[in-house]
Structure 1
């Protein structure tokens, strides 16, 4: 696993307010060329992943079901760890992740200045 990039390598974009996001329900946001799925857990943790399923059938992740800190892919029911985008056994794969900042009531997502996401694999 690669180390996260320093914060200065990201540009943060406001994607809404805390109240715009429901617990355990993903929300799709577009930031420049990045299609991102944002999740708020029932424990108040925030995660952002590339809104693209790593599964063989493709699809998006924003419609997935969140249980704790695991996302269930809505098409193939793969389990994806929200913290680092890692697909859990017995399946394999990885999804790009993006840092989330809460500033006051604003939700901000960090997009790498080089245009990619955290490549954790």
Structure 2
């Protein structure tokens, strides 16, 4: 029997509400989510916690498709949440969808 899990999407904001090369934070009891926008208007979402010492990734510097943690300069890949070598660790990432009208949706399930 095939069972498909359907992603539930929650509208968060418009792309224009996220500063280019910056982030916006979705506050949640289970951990805040940082929603990032690159210079090319790609949008990514990570748990707002560096895997190293728990720094707020939303306060980091976005460059290319990475964010640099403000505490100890770890570079985290925005698409996967993986720390870039030589560092090791992973921040939880969340699926993101941007509709043609610029609405940003986050998959929180």
TM-score, with structure 1 as normaliser = 0.79
Q: Does 1:11 align with 2:8?
A: yes
Q: Which sections of structure 1, spanning at least 5 residues, go unmatched?
A: 1-5, 113-121
The CA distance in 1 between the partners of 2:40 and 2:15, in whole Å, is: 14
Change in 2 beyond 3 A, CA 1:31/1:7: farther
Q: Quote the residue 1:116 is aligned against.
A: none
Alignment map for 1:55-66 (pairs within 5 Å)? 55-56=52-53, 58-66=54-62
| Structure 1 residue ranges (4+ consecutive) displaced by more than 4 angstroms after TM superposition | none
Q: Does 1:67 align with 2:63?
A: yes
Q: Which sections of structure 2, spanning at least 5 residues, go unmatched?
A: none
Task: Work out the number of aligned pairs and report it.
Answer: 105
| Displacement after TM superposition at 1:36 (Å) | 0.4
Deviation track 1:82-115 (CA, whole Å, cap 9, x = no partner) reads: 1100101111100110111112231111012xxx
Q: Which moved more, 1:26-35 or 1:98-107?
A: 26-35
